[in-house]
Amino acid sequence: MKQHRVGIIMNGVTGRMGTNQHLIRSIMAIIREGGLKTSDGEIIMPDPVLLGRNFEKLEQLGRQTGITKITTDLDKALSDPENIVYFDAQTTGRRVESVKMAIRAGKHVYCEKPVAATTEEALELYRLCTKAGLRNGVVQDKLWLPGIRKLRRLIDQGFFGKILAVRGEFGYWVFEGDTVPSQRPSWNYRKEDNGGIILDMLCHWRYLIDNLFGNVRAVSCLGATHMESRTDENGNEYKCTADDAAYATFELENGIIVHFNSSWTVRVRRDDLLTLQVDGTKGSAVSGLRECYIQDYSNTPRAVWNPDIPQSINFFDGWSKVPDYEPDENAYKIQWELFLKHVVKNEPFPWDLLEGAKGVQLAEKGLESWAKRCWVDIPVLKIQKPQ
């Protein structure tokens, strides 16, 4: 059986997301399974190189995973012809220049979002990759969450009839770091370090909306910095200069209205950290990260407004849980497998850096809407084809 060894430079995987989701639960999981089988019976075997700025953290991660290839020298990793894929999970501000170096070295590119801090930078990366004939992709993990996959199936089956509106709730309480340790790095709350929930989460909402419900036509977004100060990793208080909450409404080309509340200053009283309620003429669904509940037209209660008596309807009744039709797989791992097949076997992979640029565009337009306090149109990104 033919085996394709794929050297993958994994830059920035000492962070929580890079370590847990990309390295351990994706790449290492594929290795433990004996590699990734392709449709023609061949095997793709990842061969990761751990790259970062802190050698001690890299050594510790190497001991934890058994990976022996570790380095702090990006040029050295890029010069190795066996490394054909460059993956970037660094902070946003460091990503663009590192990806450009990888492109110049002829590496295929896969990276986290936001792809860049500006739409123009993100588009430049896509143009450079395309001109160099390199395969490229951006992480859009939520498309493969079990709850979202169930929602996708309901849409494909016509369960909703005509979809009218979507309501998204995302977030949780991120502790300030003084009395209880914060769950997120401090740079997230500093604008000068490319922090902010609008830049972070509207990139997610763009690909969810585009892939599930339709193309975004316009956005109205109000941001807020609810927490004025927090305490950083070294115990020092700092001023928060980036938005920690966003209240956004999206108008789609097909008339569907989508609203998303995103907040790191909210206490959760709902099914999950992310929920999507989809309402249609024939039924509704509420999807979380893993589960999805539905209520069709025949089970919809006839509610009557009367605040003078106790509510007689339990509105949680009449909803049924969508069963699991397929085994749960880690969402990051699923997309990694698709990208590796794209690189080695040229299988389709539509989630390229252009899709990543669309996410950055929506975030930029959301920030513009907030600044101008008005609706902002979302133009189609015009791409000049490489000469």
Q: What whole-number distance in Å separates Cα of residue 233 and Cα of residue 178?
A: 10
Task: Confirm whether 385 is domain-assigned.
Answer: no
List, in order, residues 6 or more apart from 382 with CB less than 8 Å away. Answer: none
Predicted confidence band at 387 (pLDDT cuts at 50, 70, 90)? very low
Task: Confirm whether 300 is domain-assigned.
Answer: yes
Predicted confidence band at 1 (pLDDT cuts at 50, 70, 90)? confident
Predicted confidence band at 351 (pLDDT cuts at 50, 70, 90)? very high
Q: What is the residue-averaged pLDDT of the chain?
A: 96
% of the chain at pLDDT higher than 90: 96
Q: Is the pLDDT of residue 170 over 90?
A: yes
Pairing state between β 83-88 and 43-51 = unpaired
Question: What pLDDT is stored for residue 312 in this prediction?
Answer: 92
Residues 118-130: pLDDT tens digits? 999 999 999 999 9
Evaluate the CA torsion angle 317, 318, 319, 324 in order and state its sign. positive
Q: Are residues 211 and 264 in the same domain?
A: yes
Q: Are residues 201 and 112 in the same domain?
A: no
Task: Confirm whether 303 is domain-assigned.
Answer: yes
Extract the tokens encoding 26.
Answer: 């994706």
Q: Is the pLDDT of residue 171 over 50?
A: yes
Residues 297-306: pLDDT tens digits? 999 999 999 9
Residues 364-376: pLDDT tens digits? 999 999 999 999 9
Q: What is the DSSP letter of 265?
A: B
If you average pLDDT over residues 8-15, what whole number do you get? 95
Amino acid of residue 352: D
Question: What pLDDT is stored for residue 384 in this prediction?
Answer: 64
Evaluate the CA torsion angle 213, 216, 218, 224 in order and state its sign. positive
- Token look-up 């003429």 returns 281
**Total domain count for the chain?**
2
Cα Rg, the chain, nearest whole Å: 22
Q: Are residues 201 and 226 in the same domain?
A: yes
- Which of 321, 341, 367 terminates a domain? The answer is 321
Long-range Cβ pairs for the range 69-77 (8 Å, 24+): 74/9, 74/11, 74/98, 74/101, 75/101, 77/9, 77/49, 77/51
| CATH code for the domain of 104 | 3.40.50.720
Q: Are residues 175 and 284 in the same domain?
A: yes
Question: What pLDDT is stored for residue 385 in this prediction?
Answer: 52
Q: Are residues 195 and 313 in the same domain?
A: yes
Q: Are residues 176 and 66 in the same domain?
A: no
| CATH code for the domain of 153 | 3.30.360.10
Task: Confirm whether 359 is domain-assigned.
Answer: no
Q: Are residues 262 and 157 in the same domain?
A: yes
Q: Are residues 134 and 147 in the same domain?
A: no
Q: Are residues 210 and 226 in the same domain?
A: yes
Task: Confirm whether 374 is domain-assigned.
Answer: no
Q: Are residues 267 and 237 in the same domain?
A: yes
If you average pLDDT over residues 33-38, what whole number do you get? 96
Question: What pLDDT is stored for residue 325 in this prediction?
Answer: 87
If you average pLDDT over residues 30-38, what whole number do you get? 97
Residues 219-249: pLDDT tens digits? 999 999 999 999 999 999 999 999 999 999 9
If you average pLDDT over residues 98-116, what whole number do you get? 97
Q: Are residues 135 and 71 in the same domain?
A: yes
- Token look-up 């000049």 returns 384
Residue 210: give the domain boundaries: 143-321
Task: Confirm whether 295 is domain-assigned.
Answer: yes
- Which of 321, 340, 362 terminates a domain? The answer is 321
Task: Confirm whether 199 is domain-assigned.
Answer: yes
Task: Confirm whether 379 is domain-assigned.
Answer: no
Q: Are residues 205 and 58 in the same domain?
A: no
